[in-house]
Amino acid sequence: PYDLDLFMEKHGLSRRAAQVILHSNGPSRIQCDAAAEAFVRFKQWREDARMKPPSQRIKSSIGAPSPLPQRPAEQKARRPKASGQGHGQAP
């Protein structure tokens, strides 16, 4: 099994994170190292995602709902009829 302090230092982990990883992946050093590397990569990915500004597409759509795509039958049914047609009136 890994020494907690050695494991923390090797992977740059907090004491709590190192304890959880060692407890859930031990006693295999290979599994513990792999889990620690995955954890560190995830933390970096999450931090990068927080620092990255939203894409232009997301910014432009904030506050404006996009229209839902409609099937051709629904589009025909929603078209307004020409005035005077279909109500028994002469054109």
Asked if 21 contacts 32 with a C-beta cutoff of 8 angstroms, the reply is yes
Comparing CA positions, the residue from 9, 34, 12 lying closest to residue 24 is 34
Q: State the CB neighbour count (10 A cutoff) for residue 25.
A: 17
Asked if 32 contacts 2 with a C-beta cutoff of 8 angstroms, the reply is yes
Residue 48 pLDDT:
87
Residue 44 tokens, joined: 């970096």
Residue 45 pLDDT:
92
Residue 63 pLDDT:
60
Q: Tell me the mean pLDDT per 10 residues along the chain, length 91.
A: 94 97 95 97 90 66 62 63 56 53
Residue 1 pLDDT:
77
